[in-house]
Structure 1
Amino acid sequence: MDLPYYEDPGPGLGFEPARTATRSNAPALSLNGTWRFQLRPTAAEPDPGFDADWERSWDEIPVPGHWQLNGHGSPAYTNVRYPFPVDPPHVPDENPTGDYRRGFDLPADWPGPDQGARTLLRFDGVDSCFRVWLNGEPLGHAKGSRLAHEFEVGQLLRPGRNTLAVRVNQWSSGSYLEDQDMWWLSGIFRDVTLLSRPEAALDDHFVHAGYEHATGTGVLSVETSAPATLSIPELGLDRVDPAGPHRIPGVEPWSAEQPRLYDAVLSTPQETVSLRIGFRSIAIEDGVLRVNGRRILFRGVNRHEWHPERGRALDRATMLQDVLLMKRHNINAVRTSHYPPHPDFLDLCDEYGLWVIDECDLETHGFTEVGWRRNPTDDPMWHEACLDRIERTVERDKNHPAILLWSLGNEAGHGANLEAMAAWCHHRDPERPVHYEGDWDSSYVDVYSRMYASHEEVLAIGRREEAPASTPERDAHRRTLPFIQCEYAHAMGNGPGGLTEYQELFERYERLQGGFVWEWIDHGIPQRTPDGTPYYAYGGDFGEPLHDGNFIADGLLFPDRTPSPGLVEFRKVVAPVRIGGTAAGGGGGGLRIDNLYDFRSLEHLAFDWTVEEEGVPVARGTLTVPEVPAGTGVELPLPKVPAAAGESWLTVRATLAEDQPWAPAGHEVAWGQLQLAERPRRTPVPSGSDGSERQDGAALGPARFDPASGVLVRLGGLAVSGPRLDVWRAPTDNDLGGGERSIARAWRRAGLDRMRHRTVSAGPEDGAFVVRSRVAPAATDLGLQAEYRWSLEDGRLRLDLSVVPEGEWDALTLPRLGLRMALPAAFDRATWFGLGPGESYRDTRQAVRVGRFAAPVAQLQTPYVMPQENGNRSEVRWATFLDADGSGLRVEGEPFFDFTARPWTSEDLDAARHTADLHPRDQVFLTLDQAHQGIGSGSCGPGALPQHRLTAGATTFTLLFSEVSAASEVRPS
């Protein structure tokens, strides 16, 4: 049976062979802009005859763009499952089809066939299948949404006005090869360009620019599709034969740290093509990936193309914003998940310096739902399409020095078509290794790649003690390969945790060459509630019958490109400079500065230091650091600092000494802290001569308690509610992840979200006010015995809390352990001395430093796309919560506590599905915690490591409370 073009499993017909993206001086005409558009419900429509009134009666739509984001149809999100029956290569009759049309005027001086010139019509990206007509004549059709296609149109162009028509099908056989974890969005979403190609045009070229690291010699040759000359003025090459090879002593090599590019020109009598050449060599030696002779370590991210309003239709400014954000957050590598990006992005990676794994536009993940039956990557019917996709990836992008590895695709199982793709890559470009994660045997690739391997497994791989491959031969091969975590540390919601422990392994074992956090940005789509409140939508918010919820919001950036706490944490963990040391008493100790760059010395950095006492700066200066080559360190004496009366810390920062292309001078690259003096030990001063003077029924000094429950209700003139023992937190995405193994499910099964309090006793006792209670969930005999012992000390209200678990808690952890209380809403300004300024948890606290910080309560909230536990401040010595007049509550720890301050409760957070669901109440809700369960990355990967889990056990916890008046000062404790 003949198949319609959109169901044919082949790549299409009528387009030109793949070639490199070029910067030519030949004429070009952009056809981007406003087009006319009609959306039809099915693909069974006649060829476009179009009504004569189309330029007025059809809707307008931007190109590049997606029709679902411009008022036609709705976005849909699935991660794995196809949103249509798995019936390859067929697609449903319900196949939304967009007809595009635009007129354009051909410039009068456009070269035509009579001048020996051709004209190509180039589409850089159309999702998912499209047919093209020029002036009513069909040109062909193509699939491969993130791949470039060019059609020869010179004989069809007319002087003056021309009409271009494009029909785009949402579903096609190509959709089976494009099941990436992202929104299903359709349309002409990348550039459309008319390109003049002169006679004997330089349609293609392939730059080979190697670097001999032992001698500093560059070795250059350029393959060209037509005779040409090569000029590189900076290297003294003037109109030489590009084939060479040219041996050039003393070149500066290209690396992600120092992206040295040489401007070059290929010339023919009719055309010049501009090149930017980077000399670098890639080799795998003894199981280690080396560039320019040195082992490199990927500090990488997976990057989908995304803009909240424009989807995958990115402009250059947005791409540059991504690159600058990456560089400023110490990211050195990008995996282009899971398709080749817009070519401008790769130009920016070359220019600013990012290692790139360039991935083919191929994923068939949905075939897992049917046991991989008829998976295209192992079906001969799809052989041509699979090869076409890798060829178009490599040929377009082959001249980018930033690209170190070709990736065959993602989550596409394994099979003969993938093996053929790898063989084609090795033949076409033997200088670059081939990557593919889906076949763990790694029999036809050059690196061993895994997703979400646990710390334990990564340790075994580093030691070359991993589980064997399927055959002894494959096992022997795989053990000679470097290891990369192509996805790890799933950055969904609050997290990821465990970054530090992964980085320690990557740095300890030579075979482990880092990885790529999943992923760069939350794919939220801005929406508003009926009352106008903005929020970001995710899967299911557009009425999709099949969706994967907020799994699309799993990035280090929020949708508006604001860095999340996870990105700030990653920046610190992977910083290329590590600052540490010891601050021993008696003038001993010293600083240690380690250079973790792969190539670069520390000469481009300046170092300064600050000493703070109780969070207040008392001294500062600069640090003279000698040249520190890559991979080495230096020890320095501590700067001379004043003696401290209170807790004091030395902070040393490494900043850019001069402007860099990606950040101005003064930009902070790394920092470290050393404690110089500990917190002075406080000598308690009891208030009053004996207990009888300090207690009176349900009162204790300035404190008043509810006589029935024993709960504190007033402290002097300040109305309060609580504190009471509390263990619940609104589950994070990482708590919720793992299906049946979800830690949040275990908490809910145990009833930790519905704990009830029973007061056993409350009243005066031995000079204190003592409350005993049992806190427990329904339907179980699990419980927590709590004793609150309130006393007066040095004018403050002291709480000594002891907690003893009852019942068989076994492996069940607690979400958190601490106290919850509430203040009037006016007390909405927080100041604290502890870790900050951002949020932190026990396994996400590398990016916070000890200091004194202040913020309105509203700014202590982290607006995760799906609301969840957030905003915790750790290791707090003291905190105040004040109103506009400076009155309120002061809390001190003995020694530390964690806190959150919110205008809503944990239950409100738990119930909310979007930020617009959160409505401030008339109170500020405080949690004052002894500990939290770690964060982990269980949304897709390992949960919190054992050392970061909060197990139930006998616990004591001490806090001191005092009322602050507008005239009082914040006392150091």
Structure 2
Amino acid sequence: MAWRHKLLPYYADFAPGTRRRRPRAAFTSDAGRLDLSGTWLFRLSDTATGAPLNFLGPEPPGEGFTELPVPSHWVLHGHGTPRYTNTAYPFPIDPPHVPDANPTGDHRLDFELPADWRRAGSVLRFEGVDSCFRVWLNGRELGTSKGSRLPAEFAAGPALHPGRNVLAVRVHRWSSGSYLEDQDMWWLPGIFREVSLLERPAGGVADFFVHAGYDHATGRGTLHVDADAPAHVHVPELGIEGLPVGEETSIGGVEPWSAELPRLYDGLLEAPGERIPLRIGFRTVAITDGLLTANGRPLLLRGVNRHEHDCDRGRALDLATMREDVLQMKRHNINAVRTAHYPPHPAFLDLCDELGLWVVDECDIETHGFILADWRGNPADDPRWEPMFLDRMRRMVERDKNHPSVVIWSLGNESHHGSNFAALGDWTRTRDPDRPLHYERDRSYRHSDFYSLMYAPVPEVERIGRREEVVPPETADDPELEARRRSLPFLLIEYAHAMGNGPGSLAAYRRAFEAHPRCQGGFVWEWIDHGFRRRTADGREYFGYGGDFGDQPHGGTFCIDGLLFPDRAPSPGLAELKKAYEPVTLTADPAAREVHIANRHDLRDLAHLRFTWTLEDAGTALGSGELKAPDVPARGEAVAELPELPVPARAAGEVWLTVRAVLAADEPWAPAGHEVAWTQARVRARTARTKPAAFSGRPRRTDHDVLMEDAAFDARTGVLRRLGPLELDGPRLDIWRAPTDNDRGMGPNSAAKDWHRAGLDRMETRTVAVRATGARVLVETHTGPAGTDRALRAHWKWTATGSALRLALRVVPEGPWDGLCLPRLGVRLTLPAAYDAVRWYGLGPGEAYPDSREAARVGLFTATVAELQTPYVVPQENGHRAELRWAELTGADAPCGLRIEGEPHFGLTARRWTSADLDAARHPTDLVERDALYVNLDHAQHGLGSASCGPGPLAEHRLTPAESTFTLVFRTLPSGGAP
């Protein structure tokens, strides 16, 4: 059959490209560079063969051309449709063939060559083109290339003209290369990275490899540079002048590079024809005694997976956006990034070198869609595809080999297994033996230096840490291979799916990593929501996802799974991750007057931090100061002494101590005072209030109401209708929440499906009895879904004490709950729409859920109702504030304020739409504010987990039906809201 493929067009054959130059390191020099970015002419054709080649030469191009910016994706500029898929290919699985309907974009640029340009040896460089392209210069074909996220260079000198030149590029949306690019992302064709023309002077260096090691035992660095032409290395700061390439030198007193202290030395590679600036980081990476080490120290990777995405430009990122990503990562205690699932823009790695991140650099290979064909025809085990596999690995390694931040090469992602990965591993180990390799989907791990999994639950991670994991079938019958696998360090290469509200259990994962040295961390999926900015017909903004563009097939909302919203605003999940990833663990003990400090840095001491304390009484400051902290080396521990705290003899409320670790001076990634870590400890509990006298009269019945003090209850249902001047509806028993993405889960792992099947979204209530007895109003209700005998029986006991109305509620499950969990357990009341502000004392300032609450601290907070909402791209349960001691709801036009107190705590959400409204909405713009405020007062909520692509909540965070009691106190306030 091989002869058939000789007849294939270049965009559908097995060749990775034609007439390209050898891959090389990315670098700049003092030789000329002409940036060809800007406005090009563009024409889109429906097929690869249907458009004429009438745009190649100096004459004006044919009809149909319009303007298009380059870099860009043409589908984001009105030409065709962006398409999102997770696993499924958007075309038939028929490798290496692609459909006849293959959108093809013709690009043309007229440019002027500078008069002093040295044409001989000139190179035309493309940093990234999706997915296959063919290029002409002044009508002369230069070559073709596949491999979307990798550079391609062509010899341009013979085709260049003095003065005016015409560059023509034909880009095909689909190619045989597309079979290797099924990477859970938008399919976005076009010239999406820069295009440039480079001078290559005679006597210049085409490629070089910087080897800069560090011996942690001696503190000496070693440096040698391999190059393909005679040249010399200069590093003035280290006294290196004129070191010939190929020779090694040893330098004492070198400061090593690490993600924690990214020390770079400026150098120069000088050849007869050009001078190339170098940024050298001395560091040594190794697998030592079964652990990943850098500079002799084991690492704990607190990482994220990062796709390239911008809500307006797709993968056509600019430098400012890339820098903002790295700054945000550093400010949220992230120390590692996996470039999922392809090499990033080279400037991103420059930033990782400069600012400090450990990088897993991943090859542009994923064939996940073949799983839908039971892996039949998978290119990973087909030798015809080996050249394309190797080409992609070579281009990544050669481009990125001089980055000290790159510490692991990844062979690709989710492509099953096969002989082509053996070829990748063998070539890479030969070319660069100083970096370990990673590949997760071949569970023999014969080509990987790591034992690695995705989305393993916390208990499984703990078993792996104890080396008690189940033996994979791939190694069960091979003792030597199994012994090797058991010797490998473990990386959770993807975990904690950050889709919508969540992920949960981040702190539990951190504890597992820290408890077991073999578990060297992991990478949360993922950095940013892949939504595109759109507007409704009336101009309201929202973010589109799969299917919103008429794209079929599509992966729906599965691209909305990041720690950042599409516009790069941080989500609550990112705040939670920052807390979980703190590189300093603080534990305050006010009684002992000490703070325990555990340094979780791998290589850095804590001299760059200050430690401060504040003391608050019910949110009011009592005092503050700075702790004198001892020296704490990397992975060391120490105790700092607390001063005598100014605790009043009689506090107004709870007294809390907060201890913070902040930057002592400006760092390149954050200013002085930036908070790195914090902890809280309660110094004194709430002073018990003197209970006012109980209501001495008896409740009175009328035809419609039961009256007690200034409260009125519906005589038929027992529902509170009025409290003083406030008319309201509720509270009513409520167990439903609009399912989160993690509630919806994946496949059978879906709590929401169980809830819907059980009818928990359609509970109906029957009032059993309303009794006015003594000084109490007693109500009994039965709440359950149609068609089952599953129910919750609630016993409501209302009492009045002075100006307050107290509710003691007991809820008892009845019937067969069969292992079901409840979404929430609490009550809901409806207030007039005039209420628009909330003040509370409890956890805040952001939302908190049972397994995602580490980032919330006890304090006094205020917010508008709008500010309480988290605008998830896909509407779902959000905005819950936890462990409130009290909350006050007010509004300028409200008849009074309403204060709610817990005995001891309650959870609060307040919004202008119902849970059913949230559940029905596909985008926030679908939510229409009602003329009311819906307030949930929760006794408990089900955890969040990570079941959208991973495990559900841990057992301790599952809300199982059980007899429960909780108490709430309601009181009215003057209109201004003051108690």
Please give the alpha-carbon distance, in whole angstroms, between the structure 2 residues aligned to 1:531 and 1:690: 57
Residue 467 (structure 1) shift: 1.5
Task: Work out whether 1:842 is the aligned partner of 2:845.
Answer: no
Deviations 1:20-69 (A, max 9, x none): 00121100100000000000000013552239543996111110000000
What is the total number of aligned residue pairs between the two structures?
A: 963
Aligned to 1:851: 859
Residue 466 (structure 1) shift: 1.2
Task: Work out whether 1:952 is the aligned partner of 2:961.
Answer: yes
Please give the alpha-carbon distance, in whole angstroms, between the structure 2 residues aligned to 1:968 and 1:289: 58
Q: How does 1:23-34 map to 2 (within 5 A)?
A: 23-34=28-39
Q: How does 1:150-165 map to 2 (within 5 A)?
A: 150-165=153-168
Residue 694 (structure 1) shift: 11
Aligned with 1:239 (options 238, 242, 256): 242
Aligned to 2:904: 895
CA contact (8 A) 1:695 1:701 kept: no
Aligned to 1:308: 311
CA contact (8 A) 1:844 1:935 kept: yes
Deviations 1:561-620 (A, max 9, x none): 011000000000111111113233xxx352111111111111111111111111111111
Shift in CA distance, 458/695, structure 1 to aligned 2, threshold 3 Å: farther
Deviations 1:200-251 (A, max 9, x none): 2211000010000001000111001100011000000111213221000110
CA contact (8 A) 1:120 1:197 kept: yes
Q: How does 1:772-921 map to 2 (within 5 A)?
A: 772-884=780-892, 887-921=896-930
Q: Specify the code of the residue in structure 1 equivalent to 2:865.
A: V
Aligned with 1:597 (options 601, 608, 625): 601
Aligned to 2:463: 460
CA contact (8 A) 2:729 2:830 kept: yes
Q: Specify the code of the residue in structure 2 equivalent to 1:155.
A: P
Say which SS state the counterpart of residue 306 (structure 1) adopts.
coil
Please give the alpha-carbon distance, in whole angstroms, between the structure 1 residues aligned to 2:976 and 2:147: 69
Say which SS state the counterpart of residue 9 (structure 1) adopts.
coil
CA contact (8 A) 1:694 1:767 kept: no
Task: Work out whether 1:574 is the aligned partner of 2:574.
Answer: no
Residue 967 (structure 1) shift: 5.5
Runs of 5+ unmatched residues, structure 2: none
Deviations 1:888-924 (A, max 9, x none): 2110000000000101110100000101111111111
Task: Work out whether 1:416 is the aligned partner of 2:423.
Answer: no
Q: How does 1:686-697 map to 2 (within 5 A)?
A: 686-691=693-698
Say which SS state the counterpart of residue 393 (structure 2) adopts.
helix
Please give the alpha-carbon distance, in whole angstroms, between the structure 2 residues aligned to 1:771 and 1:836: 34
Task: Work out whether 1:48 is the aligned partner of 2:61.
Answer: no
Q: How does 1:376-395 map to 2 (within 5 A)?
A: 376-395=379-398
Runs of 5+ unmatched residues, structure 1: none
CA contact (8 A) 1:688 1:694 kept: no
Deviations 1:112-157 (A, max 9, x none): 33xxxx0000000000000001111111111000010000010110
Q: Specify the code of the residue in structure 2 equivalent to 1:765.
A: T
Aligned with 2:659 (options 652, 672, 678): 652
Please give the alpha-carbon distance, in whole angstroms, between the structure 2 residues aligned to 1:829 and 1:694: 34
Shift in CA distance, 55/24, structure 1 to aligned 2, threshold 3 Å: farther
CA contact (8 A) 2:627 2:642 kept: no
Task: Work out whether 1:68 is the aligned partner of 2:75.
Answer: yes
Say which SS state the counterpart of residue 822 (structure 1) adopts.
strand
Say which SS state the counterpart of residue 788 (structure 1) adopts.
strand
Say which SS state the counterpart of residue 17 (structure 1) adopts.
coil
Please give the alpha-carbon distance, in whole angstroms, between the structure 2 residues aligned to 1:835 and 1:827: 21
CA contact (8 A) 2:614 2:623 kept: yes
Q: Specify the code of the residue in structure 2 equivalent to 1:770.
A: L
Aligned with 1:121 (options 124, 133, 138): 124
Aligned to 2:734: 726
CA contact (8 A) 1:843 1:935 kept: yes
Aligned to 2:488: 481
Please give the alpha-carbon distance, in whole angstroms, between the structure 2 residues aligned to 1:47 and 1:229: 50
Aligned to 1:18: 23
Say which SS state the counterpart of residue 54 (structure 1) adopts.
coil
CA contact (8 A) 1:484 1:512 kept: yes
Task: Work out whether 1:620 is the aligned partner of 2:620.
Answer: no
CA contact (8 A) 2:440 2:448 kept: no
CA contact (8 A) 1:550 1:866 kept: yes
Aligned with 2:646 (options 628, 642, 647): 642
Please give the alpha-carbon distance, in whole angstroms, between the structure 2 residues aligned to 1:692 and 1:246: 93
Say which SS state the counterpart of residue 3 (structure 1) adopts.
coil
Aligned to 1:276: 279
Q: What percent identity do the matched residue pairs reach? A: 57
Residue 702 (structure 1) shift: 1.0
Q: How does 1:235-634 map to 2 (within 5 A)?
A: 235-469=238-472, 470=475, 471-584=478-591, 588-634=592-638
Residue 340 (structure 1) shift: 0.4
Please give the alpha-carbon distance, in whole angstroms, between the structure 1 residues aligned to 2:173 and 2:820: 47
Residue 623 (structure 1) shift: 1.2
Task: Work out whether 1:145 is the aligned partner of 2:154.
Answer: no
Q: Specify the code of the residue in structure 1 equivalent to 2:28.
A: R
Shift in CA distance, 243/694, structure 1 to aligned 2, threshold 3 Å: farther
Deviations 1:313-372 (A, max 9, x none): 000000000000000000000000000000000000000000000000000000000000
Please give the alpha-carbon distance, in whole angstroms, between the structure 2 residues aligned to 1:310 and 1:701: 62
Say which SS state the counterpart of residue 480 (structure 2) adopts.
helix
Q: Which one is further off, 835-844 or 435-444? A: 435-444
Aligned with 2:42 (options 27, 37, 43): 37
Residue 693 (structure 1) shift: 8.5
CA contact (8 A) 1:729 1:816 kept: yes
Residue 639 (structure 1) shift: 2.5
Please give the alpha-carbon distance, in whole angstroms, between the structure 1 residues aligned to 2:576 and 2:604: 23
CA contact (8 A) 2:695 2:801 kept: no
Aligned to 2:676: 669
Deviations 1:266-285 (A, max 9, x none): 10121001110000011111
Please give the alpha-carbon distance, in whole angstroms, between the structure 1 residues aligned to 2:733 and 2:64: 66
Please give the alpha-carbon distance, in whole angstroms, between the structure 2 residues aligned to 1:915 and 1:9: 45
Please give the alpha-carbon distance, in whole angstroms, between the structure 1 residues aligned to 2:240 and 2:764: 81
Please give the alpha-carbon distance, in whole angstroms, between the structure 2 residues aligned to 1:841 and 1:906: 17
Residue 955 (structure 1) shift: 0.7
Please give the alpha-carbon distance, in whole angstroms, between the structure 1 residues aligned to 2:431 and 2:460: 34
Shift in CA distance, 790/688, structure 1 to aligned 2, threshold 3 Å: closer
CA contact (8 A) 2:45 2:51 kept: no
